[in-house]
């Protein structure tokens, strides 16, 4: 049971009971990210549906969103550009296909094409 933090119960009706303790549903799922050498990542260049801008798209990542965002942050930093990481995809702004393949292989992602 958590402490009675008011931010956790913003949409809860007020109780006049002085001994009432609000209980939150704690559903923490442990997500497991496979080993780097078992990830089958695919790197491609895409322009369609992006206003004519070129992006490098990395697909095929399986695992936790935190690990996906961490990998996206590493790639964006090394390339010096922006992008996003969500839904198992990493989007890097610009045409960096060859550089990203080399970076992924140096990070330990051996099954990268």
Domains of the chain as residue ranges with CATH: 31-112 (3.30.780.10)
| Torsion, Cα of 48, 82, 112, 42 (10° steps) | -20
Taking all residues of the chain, what is their mean pLDDT, rounded to a whole number? 84
Return the pLDDT at 54: 93
pLDDT grade, residue 51 (50/70/90)? confident
pLDDT surpasses 90 at 59:
yes
Per-residue model confidence as pLDDT tens digits over 78-104: 999 999 998 889 999 999 999 999 999
Give the mean model confidence (pLDDT) for residues 3-25.
Answer: 68
Quickly tell me which residue has 């006049």 as its tokens: 16
| Non-local CB neighbours of 24 within 8 Å, separated by 6+ positions | 2, 8, 9
């Amino acid at each position: 049971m958590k402490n009675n933090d008011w931010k956790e119960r913003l949409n809860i009706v007020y109780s006049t009971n002085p001994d009432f303790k609000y209980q939150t549903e704690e559903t923490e799922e442990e997500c497991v990210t496979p080993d780097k050498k078992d990830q089958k990542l695919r790197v491609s260049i895409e322009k369609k549906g992006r206003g004519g801008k070129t992006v490098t798209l990395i697909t095929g990542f399986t695992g936790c969103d935190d690990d996906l965002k961490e990998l996206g942050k590493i790639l964006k930093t090394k390339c010096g550009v922006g992008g996003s990481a969500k839904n198992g995809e990493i989007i890097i702004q610009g045409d960096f296909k060859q550089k990203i393949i080399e970076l992924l292989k140096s990070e330990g992602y051996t099954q990268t094409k």
